[in-house]
Amino acid sequence: MSSYFTKYSIPAILATGLAALAISACGGSSDDSGATELAKFAPADSTVFVEGSVQPDSEVASNVDAMTETLAGVNVGDLIKENINASGDVDFDADIQPWLGQDAGVFVSFDPSALAPETDGLSSFTSTEGDLGQTMDSADAGEKFGLVVQTTDPDAAQSFIDKQAESDGISGEGEYEGFSYKVSADDGTAVGIVDDNVVIGSSEAEFKAAVDASKGDNLADTQVFSDLKDHVADGALMSVFTANDPYLAALKEQGIDLSGLYSAMGMDLEGSGTVMSMVPTADEMSMKGYTNAGSDLTSGDPSALIETFPADTMVALGSGDVGKNATTIINALNKEGIPGLLEPGQIDQLMNEASRQIDLMGIVESLDTVAFFVNGTTEKNLGGALVATSNNIEPIESSLRGISSLIGLAGDASVRPLPGNVAGFRVLTPELPGRPVVIGVKGDRMVIGVGMKASLNALTGTGKTLADSDAYKAADASTPDDGLDMFANPDNIAKLVLSAGAGQPDAREIAKIMQKFQFMAAGSSDEDGTFEFNMGLNQ
């Protein structure tokens, strides 16, 4: 059997799973049984499970066709079939289509602790490049996977397996719990028919693990999967499930027990996980997610601030309730510390030292929303700013004098006041000719920015803003329930790429792809535990 899993790293598994699931455009089915049924073949301790439809209903298939033809001018199903047929050993229509069912699933199991070198505590993250290479090699060696594909004709699927085994050669075959299987001489993958499904394991052990799971103690029966499966988004082409417990356990094995810190921050991660669904429409690709992890931290809705940024903004990102969250985190760190990195009470000591010049804690507690943006379309007019709104601007205003005096000590910097009765100053440096660093306060806003125009516009919310931008309006409308936390304008990014890489073919190709999109947007909801990332296409 010709294998696509010779190098089964996590990215390769997910990419292969996506490619397999993208065969959706090859034909449609109106059956809506749900691929989550295939989770019964995944061992209960699977780290990642990917499920989706290889032959979805006609609407989803039509959306995939429309999107890929807009982006690449090709039908993705036809392209995949052509690549399969190009191998010379397999004809999709003759060998695969007759037995291919509606759904497929991939489970991946690996030890997350293998991703870090075997050293003490947080020092593991200071490894050399050679150590990192060894770490990744050991992680790859620990990965295990299984692929399960529903069949409409098990006999035809078995004929396909036999044909491929004869073509590629087998190193062994056997029977387990009444199910026969063959082992590839090429890479050791094992394949067989189990309960009318084609099951491929990265080894005989994983094939047998899938069989054992199907008889009990599987992912489908776990509480975390039961909680997550009901939150698969409507119209999803594929979904990815992952649990947090394996990663928490891996941290503890590395000597990093953060359970006390999580508890102090009101975070409940044990027994929790995340599901993300890919949902295509004719003019938008969305990744919609849900987590059942509890937390006292909130993100608020920063869109009211983001929409006041300059209209030529390339990317903007923000969060609400910053002061509340930061205070919660600081208090938790003071109480619990971080094993091997930060002692309890050490944050207070550091902040007290910093407060000799500025009222750092006063500033933190006063913050409401914090966001930043980058704007401009060429390297010469590139600018941006960090913008914060405050419920008590006094600590920030009083701290500006201390900051100004510190900067004024620099021999190569020139500090000047801001125009227009705006409290603050600008710093001119040789490194940024014509684009001063601006620190200012007006009303309930503080701005730290690069470039006078961008900074003053952000400080006052005047001039043409994102609220006037069609791309921003479309992005905001794409996240009606989750609010808008991030916005990017692909057209402005494309202009910067063309300017920076003038005359370079690669720059033109990148810009060409970016200009096919109208917006990129992300949002989240504290109340519902949902989040999403959307990419809208130009029509």
Can you tell me the mean pLDDT for 300-310?
A: 91
**What pLDDT digit, counting tens, does each position of 368-397 carry?**
999 999 998 888 788 899 999 998 888 887
β-bridge pairing 144-151 and 383-390: unpaired
Can you tell me the mean pLDDT for 216-231?
A: 92
* Confidence band for 484, pLDDT divided at 50, 70 and 90: very high
- The per-residue b/e assignment along 138-167, b for 16 or more CB within 10 angstroms, e otherwise, is ebeeebbbbbbbbbeebebbbebbeebbee
In this predicted structure, the answer to whether residue 314 has a pLDDT above a threshold of 90 is yes
**What pLDDT digit, counting tens, does each position of 54-81 carry?**
776 667 667 776 777 777 666 666 666 7
H-helix or E-strand spanning residue 532: strand 530-537
Distance, in Å, from the CA atom of 11 to the CA atom of 271, rounded to the nearest integer, reads: 25
Can you tell me the mean pLDDT for 78-89?
A: 70
Q: Are 227 and 6 in contact (CB under 8 A)?
A: no
What is residue 225's predicted lDDT score, i.e. its pLDDT?
93
Nearest to 449 by CA among 323, 319, 356, 313: 313
What is residue 520's predicted lDDT score, i.e. its pLDDT?
96
Amino acid at 257: D
Number of neighbours of residue 330 by Cβ within 10 angstroms: 16
Distance, in Å, from the CA atom of 130 to the CA atom of 140, rounded to the nearest integer, reads: 16
β-bridge pairing 414-417 and 48-53: unpaired
In this predicted structure, the answer to whether residue 93 has a pLDDT above a threshold of 60 is yes
**What pLDDT digit, counting tens, does each position of 14-61 carry?**
333 434 444 333 444 334 444 568 999 999 989 899 998 877 666 766
* Confidence band for 238, pLDDT divided at 50, 70 and 90: confident
**What pLDDT digit, counting tens, does each position of 430-450 carry?**
777 778 888 888 888 989 998
Point out the least confidently predicted range of 337-341, 454-458, 505-509, 518-522: 337-341
Q: Locate 470 and state its tokens.
A: 């069609």
Can you tell me the mean pLDDT for 331-336?
A: 88
